[in-house]
Amino acid sequence: MPVTSIDSYKNDVPGPRHLVGRWQKTIIMITGVSGIGKSQLCQLLVNNNIYYLSADTASFAVGHTMDILEEYIQKNMQYLDAGVYAHYINDNCPEEFTNKFFDRFVKNNPNYNIMIDGYIFILHPFYDLFVNKCISAGYRIWELKRILK
């Protein structure tokens, strides 16, 4: 019979480990293009120990605190698309947006384990800015992404 899991006793693994050890927080990023199931995966993984945040939805909340993005949202309200909006952020104000997004939804989030999904995480420089902020804050970062073939 094929082995389908690791038996922790046979492999001398000490059993379950806590997500947060010497790290202040653990950030789990679910990345990928639109419509591949990022949010669905998050819904399957979320539990009482993990806080879930949709970066696509949260980015609109941050947008209302920045003039350039508030203007964009108001101008495009009828046809607002999260992917197009993410590109607009990334092309026009990635650093200011990253700072506000990080402070509001990660740094000031009382939860220690935060799972965030969003299309915006495949865009550079936003991705690099966000990861660097997490590292600077002493957070552990995991990235999960779907591989399409």
**Would you say 110 and 146 are in contact if contact means Cβ atoms under 8 Å apart?**
no
Say if 12 falls within a structural domain: no
How much of the chain, in percent, has pLDDT values that exceed 90? 61
Provide the 8-state DSSP code for 7: -
Domain count, the chain: 1
Q: Tens digit of pLDDT for each residue in 111-136?
A: 999 999 999 999 999 999 999 999 99
Read off the pLDDT of residues 50-83 as tens digits, 9 standing for 90 and up: 999 999 899 999 888 899 999 999 999 898 899 9
> pTM of the entire structure?
0.82
* Domain assignment present for 20: no
Burial 6-19 (b: 16+ CB within 10 A, else e): eeeeeeeeeeeeee
Residue 4 forms part of a structural domain:
no
66 is a domain residue = yes
Distance CA 84, CA 37 (A): 18
Rg from Cα positions in the chain: 18
CA distance 30 to 118: 7
Asked if residue 9 belongs to a domain, the reply is: no
Q: Indicate the SS3 state at residue 11.
A: coil
Query: Is the residue at 36 inside a domain?
Result: yes
- Is position 3 within any domain? no
- Domain span at 101: 26-144
pLDDT at 7 over 60: no
Contacts of 123 (CB under 8 A, 6+ apart): 86, 87, 90
Residue 19 domain-assigned? no
